[in-house]
Amino acid sequence: MNTNRIKNSMPVRLPDDLPPIKSFQSNIRRAPSRGYFLNQEETNLALSNALRYIPSHLHHELYPEFLNELKTMGRIYGYRYRPEGKIYGKPIDEYKGITQAKAIQVMIDNNLDFDIALYPYELVTYGETGQVCQNWMQYQLIMKYLEVMTEDQTLVIESGHPLGLFPSRPEAPRVISTQGLVIGKWDNPDDFKRLTALGVANYGQMTAGGWMYIGPQGIVHGTFITLLNAGRKYLNIPADKDLSGIVFVSSGLGGMSGAQPKACEIAGGIGIIAEVDPSRIETRHSQGWVQLVSDDLKQIAEWTEEYRQNKKPISIAYQGNIVDLLEYFDKNNIHIDLLSDQTSCHVVYEGGYIPAGLSLEESREMLVNDSEKFKSFVNMSLIRHFNVIKKFTNKCTDGVSPSSVPAISDRHQNQRRDAVGTTDQRRDAVGTNIGTYFWDYGNSFLASIFDAGEKSVAKNGNDTNDGFIFPSYVEDIMGPICFDNGYGPFRWVCLSRKDEDLRLTDQAAMSCIDPTSCAQDRDNYQWIADAEKNQLVVGTKARILYADEEGRIRIALKFNEMIRKGEIGPVMLGRDHHDVSGTDSPFRETANIYDGSRVMADMATQCFAGNIARGMTMVVLSNGGGVGIGRSVNGGNGIVLDGSKRMDDVVKSALSWDVMGGVARRSWARNQNAIDRTIEWNEKHKGEGQITIPFDIAPTS
C-alpha cells in the first residue's frame, strides 16, 4: 500500500516522529493488569490493531514496546503517546477550535485529570474499567480532529476509535459516539474482555466514554437524595428532618462510590465506608470527602457510637474489607440503620471486588497468576458478605424483617409503620437489636451473589427474572420518587473554569426553583443553596442538580441568556446516563418497570436517536454502565450553550424529549406518578404533541 498516498490523503494524523518514552509519577494510581490470555494469532491481531494508528516506519521500534504492554497490562495503552505533564480541563480559551469543539476538549481532559480519574495513565475515569477511549493514540487523534473541526462537520467515535470527520450541518451534533455495542451472541463479559484486549471494544461505563464525568460530585446529589429518602421511607424520619444519629454503612471510595461519605454527611448522618485501597482513601480524605480514617475496627466502632450519641454528622473510612467490618459489627451488636454496597461488581472477577481474606496486593497478584483461584475467593467472599447482611436485616421487632416489608410506595406506608414502628419506637422496644434496611445500589452486587451460586438471593429462588430478595435503590427509592416524576441528574460545567461563573449559575438555578412546589424542589433548592459551602467541586467548575423537564429548560434558558449578555462564559450542559430516559437496565434504572419490558433497550436507544435529531452537541450510546456488559444499554449527551438563539431552540426541544421520553415509557408501564406527569404534559402541550397513556384495567371478574 502507498504510505505517501495515505499521508497525503490524511492530513490529520499522528506525527512521523516517535514521541519520547514517558515516565510515571509514583503517587498516581495505576490500573492492575487485566491479564494476558490471547493466543499468538490474537496477539498479532491486537498489535496490528494498535500499530495501524502510527506511520509504518515506526512499527519496528514500537512492536516490542506494545507487546510488552499487552503481556504485562493485558492491554495496549500506547503510553508513549500520552501528552507530557498534567492533563486537566483547562479554561476553554486555552484550547484550539470552534467553541463547541473546545468545550468537548475541556470535558475529555477533565475525565483524565489526576484528581479525577481512577487510573489516569490507563485512561480509566471511574468504575474500575470505564475508559475515555482505549489508548493514547486514539486520544491524540480525537483532540486533533476537534481542533480542526468546523460547524459543518461531525466527529464519529466507535468504541474510542475516531472513525473520522464527516460532513454534516451546524444543527447536527459535533460528536456522535458509541461504546462497546456488541452483537448479542458475543455480548457477555468473557467475549468482551477478549475484544478489549484486541483493541476493538471500549468499556465507556457511562460518563467516562461519554466525556461528561464531573468527579464524585456527579453522583453525590443522587446519593444524598437516596439516603435522605431511605431515612424517610424506611425509618419514618419526617420530611423536614435529616439523618441525625442514623448510621449508614457501605463500601467503596472510588469514582462513583466516593460520593457516599460526603452525601451522608451532608444529609446529617454517620457514614462508614469500607475501602481496601489506601490510595483511594487518601484521595477522598485530602479532598475533604472523608473526615476520619482508621484500619482499627475497635476505633471505627467507638467513633460510630460516639457520633450516634451526639447525633453529629461524620464521614468515616475504614481501611479494610467490608465483610470484616460487618462481621465485627454483628459480633459486637453494633446497630446499622441503613446498609448498601458500591464495589465495582460489574467487573467482579476483574478486580472490582476484593475478596475478604486477601489484601489488595495479593488479589492483584492472584488475578494475574491464577484467575480461576481468584474467582473462587471472590465467590466465597460474596456469599459470606450476603450471609452477614442477612444477619443484620433479620434483626427486628415482633418477627418482622425490615427487608420483607414493602416500604416505599405510599399505599404500603401505613402497613410498614404498623409492622415495624418508627425508629425511636423500635429502639425503645429492643435497644439496638432492630433490623437493618439493605438495598442494592445497582452495581450488580446481588446479581454477582447469584452468579457465585447463592440462589436464595433471587426472589423466586431459581433465577433473576423476578429480581432479588432485597430491592434496588431505583426500584424502591429513586424510581418512584425521582425518575417517574422526571427528576434526574442534570449537570452543568462552567467552561471558563471561573469560580464566579459557577457562583452566578448557582444563583440563577436557585431563582428557577420554587421550593414550595413539591418535596423534590424543596430539597433541590436547599442543595443548591448549600452547594458552595459543601465544597463539592473537584476538577472543572461543575454542578449537579436533580431537576425535572421544566426545571432543566428554565435553568438552561437562563444560563444561555446570561451568556448572551456577557455575564458568564460558555456552559456545557449534560447529565449522568443514570437518568429518567438515558438507560435501560433491569437491575437499576428500569428496576421499577413491572410490565415485563424492563429488559428491553428501546428507551435508551430512542433517547440517543432523538437527541441527535434535536441537535445536541454530543451524543453517546454505550453498553454496560455500572451493572456490567450485557446488562444495560445507556446513553448520555452534552449541549454547549454559547448565547445563541439557536441553542435556545435546542434546549426547549432536546431537554424536553430527553426527559419526557422516559417518563412516557414509565407511564406506559403503569407507574402512577409517571401517568400523572404525562397527563399534565399532554394538557400543557395540546396541539404540539401527545404521549400515549394507558387506560385503567377493569376488573375481569
DSSP per position, 346-406: GGIIIIISPPTTS-HHHHHHHHHH-HHHHHHHHHHHHHHHHHHHHHHHT--STT--GGGS-
The predicted pLDDT at position 81 comes to: 98
H helices present in 565-640, as ranges: 602-613
Domains of the chain and any CATH numbers: 12-115+133-198 (no CATH), 217-471 (3.40.50.10730), 485-684 (3.40.1770.10)
Report the DSSP pairing between strands 338-339 and 247-251: parallel
Whether the pLDDT of residue 415 is over 60: the answer is no
Q: Minimum mean pLDDT among 99-113, 247-261, 421-435: which range? A: 421-435
Q: Which residues pair with 440 in a beta bridge?
A: 472
- State which amino acid sits at residue 641: L
Percent of the chain as helix, strand, coil, to the nearest 5: 45, 15, 40
pLDDT at 237 over 90: yes
pLDDT at 325: 98
In contact, 517 and 485? CB cutoff 8 Å: no
Q: What is the pLDDT of residue 396?
A: 58
Q: Which residue has the cell 448522618?
A: 269
Please check whether residue 342 is in contact with residue 441, taking contact to mean a CB–CB distance below 8 angstroms. Answer: yes
| SS3 per residue for 185-250 | HHCCHHHHHHHHHHCCCCCCCCCCCCCCCCCCHHHHHHHHHHHHHHHHHHHCCCCCCCCCCCEEEE
| Residue type at 650 in one-letter notation | V
CA 465 distance to own-chain centroid: 24
pTM, entire model? 0.89
Give the pLDDT confidence score for residue 419 in this predicted structure: 33
User: What is the distance between the alpha carbons of residues 669 and 421, in angstroms, rounded to a whole number?
Assistant: 32
- The model's confidence at residue 428, banded by pLDDT at 50, 70 and 90, is very low
Burial of 75 (0-12, 13-18, 19+ CB in 10 A): buried
Question: How confident is the model at residue 626, as a pLDDT?
Answer: 82
- Measured N-to-C along each axis, helices 549-564 and 499-511 cross at an angle, to the nearest 10 degrees, of 130
Query: In whole angstroms, what is the distance from residue 270 CA to residue 48 CA?
Result: 52
pLDDT at 414: 35
Cβ atoms of 266 and 239 closer than 8 Å: no
85 has pLDDT over 80: yes
How far is the C-alpha of 482 from the C-alpha of 172, rounded, in Å?
A: 30
Residues 593 and 669 sit within 8 Å (Cβ to Cβ)? yes
Residues 317-370: tens digit of each pLDDT:
999 999 999 999 999 999 999 999 999 898 899 899 999 999 999 999 999 899
Poorest-pLDDT segment among 179-188, 471-480, 492-501, 669-678: 471-480
pLDDT of residue 701: 72
Do residues 450 and 464 make contact, with C-beta atoms less than 8 angstroms apart? yes
Residue 588 CB partners (closer than 8 Å, separation 6+): 442, 472, 474, 578, 625, 626, 627, 632
Q: pLDDT value at position 346?
A: 85
* 565-610 tens-digit pLDDT: 999 999 999 999 999 999 999 988 999 999 999 999 999 999 999 9
99-111 helix and 136-148 helix, angle to the nearest 10 degrees:
160
Please write the tens of the pLDDT for every residue from 216-232: 887 888 899 999 999 99
Q: Is 275 left (phi over 0), alpha (psi -120 to 50) or beta?
A: beta
27-82 tens-digit pLDDT = 999 999 999 999 999 999 999 999 999 999 999 999 999 999 999 999 999 999 99
Sign of the torsion angle spanned by Cα atoms 535, 540, 546, 550: positive
In a 3-state reduction of DSSP, which class is residue 453?
Answer: coil
b/e code 375-387 from CB counts within 10 Å (16+ = b): bebbbebbebbbb
Contacts of 3 (CB under 8 A, 6+ apart): 55, 56, 57
What ranges make up the beta strands (E) of 509-627? 541-547, 571-575, 583-584, 618-623
Give the pLDDT band (50/70/90) at residue 395.
Answer: confident
Separation between Cα atoms, residue 478 and residue 487, nearest integer Å: 9
CA dihedral (477, 685, 489, 547) in degrees, to 10, reads -80
In the numeric block, the cell 406506608 is attached to: 413
